[in-house]
């Protein structure tokens, strides 16, 4: 397992995502009820919660894919509701998203997938586009011969890596990862965690990671936020969550699987 020194939490650090009083619902069902959350620059935030509690809904709300009923969301100091379409496009260049199933464009090869955002926003020569795409593909640990394959020809782990390469295409400030290790075998998942930690260090990323993987929480996350009843139940480094007396958090972090992860991870 990798050694990761958790940096001390400095409350004065820059907040890159500030969520205040966000309320989201579908029809008569309210999923998020006045949720507050801060994500600081340069950290890896693990976001946990029972299924159906709205982890993905919050991610999608921040990304603007789900409309919210109330509250404000600021990303990199800009209120998302107050942006003009062109300012919004500028902001969208500064985040990358890894969807749960990868969401690679199935008609394009891996290399073309990585080049989609570059072609859209940067005006580069074909040669530089190719070189940059290959660089990203190598950075996420894919072999060069994967570059010309179609998503349907890749394994689950390779799809996640390729999707990560695409998310990193424009050197974003923030990366959203939706269950990056789900569907990977334990070794693959461990390698992926390591990859995320390495990339975070080298590129200075802020990572917002929705996950169920206790190993990831122990090994790579600087801070963890637990979601329940439409709010953040607890947040902080893993020690804070271990001490929480919320029943769900207790059973999550003190279950049999959690103890095994603790033994091998921390």
Partner 1 sequence: MVESLAAEIAAEADQSHMILDLAQVRRLDTLGAWVLDRTRHELGSRDLGADFANASQEQQILLDEVAYRGFQEQAKPRRSKAVDFLVDVGQSVAGAGRDLVDGIAFLGELVSALIRVVVNPRRFRGTAVINQLEQIAYRGVPIIVLISFLVGCIVAQQGIFQLVRFGATPFVVDLIGILILRELALLLTSIMVAGRSGSAFTAEIGSMKMREEIDALRVMGLDPIEVLIVPRVLALVIGLPLLTFISSIAALSGGGVTAWLYGDVSPDVFLSRLRAAVSFNTFMVGMIKAPFMALVIGIIATLEGLAVQGSAESLGRHVTSSVVKSIFMVIVLDGLFAMFFAAIRY
In the complex with partner 1, the residue whose CB is nearer, 13 or 88, is 88
Q: Number of helices (H) and strands (E), helices first, in the chain?
A: 10, 10
Q: List the one residue from 15, 80, 83, 103 that touches partner 1 (CB under 8 A).
A: 103
Can residue 65 be called a binding residue for partner 1 (CB under 8 A)?
yes
| H or E segment to which residue 30 belongs | strand 29-40
Distance of CA 19 to the CA centre of its chain: 16
Length of the chain: 266
Q: Is 82 in the site for partner 1 (CB under 8 A)?
A: no
- Residue 6 sits in the site that holds partner 1 (CB under 8 A): no
Beta-strand pair 15-26/29-40: antiparallel
Q: What 3-state DSSP class applies to 133?
A: helix
* Choice between 26 and 105, CB closer to partner 1: 105
Tell whether residue 100 is a contact of partner 1 (CB under 8 A): yes
Q: CA-CA distance, 140 to 166, in Å (whole number)? A: 10
Contact present, 208 and 176 (Cβ < 8 Å)? yes
Q: Which of 69, 105, 229, 251 binds partner 1 (CB under 8 A)?
A: 105
Q: How far is the CB of 176 from partner 1 (least distance, A)?
A: 8
Stretch that binds partner 1, among 70-78, 99-107, 128-136, 250-258 (CB under 8 A): 99-107
Closest to partner 1 by CB, 133 vs 197, is 133
The Cα 112–Cα 134 span in angstroms is: 10
Shortest distance, position 135 Cβ to partner 1, whole Å: 19
Would you state the structure tokens that stand for residue 189, as one six-digit string? 């998942």
Vertex 139 angle, CA 135 and 144, to 5°: 60
Contact region with partner 1 (CB under 8 A), list: 89-97, 193-201, 235-243, 251-259: 89-97
Q: Which residue has the tokens 């998203």?
A: 97
Q: Tell me if 253 contacts partner 1 by CB under 8 A.
A: no
Nearer Cβ to partner 1 (137/167): 167
Q: What is the Cβ-side half-sphere exposure of residue 217, based on CA atoms within 13 angstroms? A: 30
Q: Which residues contact 227 (CB under 8 A, 6 or more apart)?
A: 35, 47, 48, 49, 53, 54, 55, 58, 233
Distance, CA of 105 to CA of 142 (rounded, Å): 18
User: Segment contacting partner 1 (CB under 8 A): 68-76, 104-112, 134-142, 205-213?
Assistant: 104-112
Minimum Å gap between C-beta 100 and partner 1 is 8
Task: For residue 65, give both structure tokens.
Answer: 């894919």
Site for partner 1 in 175-194 (CB under 8 A): 176
117 part of the interface to partner 1, by CB under 8 A: yes
97 binds partner 1 (CB under 8 A): yes
The answer to whether 87 contacts partner 1 (rule: CB under 8 A) is no
Which lies closer to partner 1 via its Cβ, residue 114 or residue 258? 114
Binding site for partner 1 (CB under 8 A): 60, 63-65, 88-89, 92-93, 95, 97, 99-101, 103-106, 116-117, 120-121, 176
């Amino acid at each position: 397992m990798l050694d990761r020194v958790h940096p001390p939490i400095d409350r004065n650090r820059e907040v890159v995502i500030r969520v205040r009083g966000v309320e989201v619902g579908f029809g008569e069902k309210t999923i998020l009820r006045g949720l507050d959350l801060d994500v600081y620059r340069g950290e890896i935030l693990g976001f946990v919660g029972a299924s159906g509690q709205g982890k993905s809904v919050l991610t999608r709300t921040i990304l603007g894919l789900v409309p919210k009923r109330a509250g404000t969301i600021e990303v990199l100091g800009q209120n998302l509701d107050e942006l003009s379409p062109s300012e919004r496009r500028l902001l969208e260049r500064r985040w990358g998203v890894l969807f749960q199933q990868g969401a690679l464009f199935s008609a394009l090869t891996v290399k073309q997938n990585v080049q989609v955002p570059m072609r859209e926003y940067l005006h580069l020569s074909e040669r530089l586009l190719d070189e940059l795409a290959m660089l990203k593909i190598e950075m996420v640990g894919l072999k060069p011969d994967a570059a010309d394959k179609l998503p349907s020809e890749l394994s689950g782990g390779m799809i996640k890596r390729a999707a990560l390469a695409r998310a990193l295409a424009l050197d974003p400030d923030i990366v959203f990862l939706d269950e990056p290790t789900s569907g990977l075998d334990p070794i693959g998942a461990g390698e992926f965690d390591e990859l995320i930690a390495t990339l975070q260090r080298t590129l200075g990323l802020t990572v917002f990671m929705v996950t169920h993987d206790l190993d990831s929480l122990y090994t790579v996350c600087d801070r963890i936020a637990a979601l329940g009843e439409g709010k953040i139940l607890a947040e902080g480094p893993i020690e804070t969550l271990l001490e929480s007396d919320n029943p769900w958090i207790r059973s999550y972090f003190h279950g049999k699987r959690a103890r095994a992860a603790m033994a091998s991870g921390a």
